[in-house]
A and B are shown apart, each in its own frame.
Chain A
């Protein structure tokens, strides 16, 4: 359902038309003068070393993945030490922290469980996020290999790879995630609009029966006296 090539073009074009009619885009992108001159002469040229230190993102195709590798067997040890405190030994989660494992076949149920295995469409996102933001409060502290190991462990726990599979920068863009086709593009809104286009103003046929009250649910924080 989700095609990467299609995705690159479709939302972009529809957005362009909806918002600006494409005129500004054409001006900026096609004018050789604007593209080559520095109108303000502000800022300094970034060195390759500076860019490398901050350019930590990994794309779905694996671009940006740093050289490294890891498997689930090694990953279990790292995971238990650094991740299990919040996410549980089996990715089942502690308290309100995110569940990471399981949830297959729940997305159309009353209680969908959205995990890396059941919901995330790309393995690259797991690397990107874990490296940049985890462990919580110790961002960007993992080694590249540790990050591959943790991702491999979670993929293994979700039955996506074998425990000895060496996940690396060479293959992270090739992992087939179960919910890869679970996303719809482009955005179909506006939706849920009145059939006539004009909203009803008088004697509208609506139910005014009260079927629920927040007061009865009783989860609203109470003010301290």
Chain B
């Protein structure tokens, strides 16, 4: 059973994910056949796992997912970057439910690899325009009043490969640079009170202790409003690849600013114009000028099932699943179209619907084998409407790389398989 299950799983993944033209449109149904149950385990028979004792406690002191879920992993696109240390991988959104991303599935983006920081040696330095330049240990940070908040973190380049057309055939590769966890940590406003911010301080430069020394400038209003230094995610210490032992949290703003392995905050009276806010993370328009300091992540949504990795497995009742989020506040509404944007129906939002947080939506529908062009469109509490790619291109051209929050289209074929397509 184990071997069979694993084999079936890999077949299924290969046929659904593979961009190879050799894979026919019936592949999805064939692999669905490979996933058929073993009659010996079905009623009225006694299933093979029932008579015998299973594994005892401590078989996995730190629990791991079922072996049948081994396909639920982060994945990368090798040709995107020059090295794995300065690279990115993607959250498997298509395999997740609810709005919490498991820690081990949160996408990674590093610029100089993952440093191994012994928490005993961790220090956070505050310097610049403050009354007292202070150094905090991790223990110091944990003694401050605590705050716990769910927030999405999205890379500004999420969907960046799709500006000119449908390029990557997967929900994971086109939307997976986002994750959503509960952060535990210290409000930066409390740290600011401790160091005493001078009146002329208007910008804060956050700097990481990694080999990239990642640094970004953040206006002090944002720092004081809702930024925090987090030392835990989803109830446990930060994962090393997410900044262990401490990272910056900048709710609703592009992920690059959420400096990991944070070692220093410098208060100043002008932006620092670091590489990551000039050479990178600036949005080149068609006329050759670039937008700068485009921090907020606009409202966005994606249908996570069906999608290129999640074929429809049979006719009849279906449950469409998706995620929506906005860096400007709460999600107000998500509409879904099955006919390429001609007609829309409003999906059900599953609470809690939180500020700057992923929101789960579902929509039941009947499918009888007809071709579908599935889209989702998010609106947030400010009234912002997620645009089509055509609307974005009209304003921004196709060289922007960053901040593509356009509606995607999944084409469902008669056999249930799904493709990422571009309409026009």
Contact = CB atoms under 8 A, between A and B. Distances in A.
Interface of A: 1-2, 4, 7-9, 11-12, 15-16, 19-20, 22, 24-25, 28-30, 34-40, 42-46, 50-51, 54-57, 59-61, 86, 95-97, 107-108, 110, 112, 114, 116, 119-122, 124-125, 128-129, 132-133, 136-137, 139-140, 182-194, 197, 199-204, 206-225
A19 to B, nearest CB: 5
Given A40-B194, A211-B423, 19 more contacts: A20-B224, A28-B189, A34-B193, A35-B196, A40-B193, A45-B133, A60-B273, A95-B82, A120-B278, A125-B274, A125-B278, A184-B285, A187-B293, A188-B291, A189-B298, A203-B342, A210-B422, A217-B167, A219-B19
A201 B222 CA distance: 36
Contact of A225 (B10, B144, B266, B298): B10
Nearest to B295: A187
B17 A139 contact: no
Interface stretch (B317-325, B360-368, B376-384): B376-384
A191 B403 CA distance: 12
B113 to A, nearest CB: 8
B112 A139 contact: yes
B20 to A, nearest CB: 6
Interface stretch (B33-41, B207-215, B239-247): B207-215
A125 B144 contact: no
Contact of B424 (A57, A202, A203, A207): A207
B84 to A, nearest CB: 12
Contact of B421 (A57, A197, A214): A214
A218 B19 contact: yes
B422 to A, nearest CB: 4
B213 to A, nearest CB: 3
Interface string B291-302: 111111010000
Contacts of B19: 214-215, 217-220, 222
B403 to A, nearest CB: 8
A220 B173 contact: yes
Contacts of A188: 291
B289 A1 contact: yes
6 contacts: A43-B134, A57-B205, A188-B291, A190-B298, A207-B424, A218-B20
Contacts of B377: 199
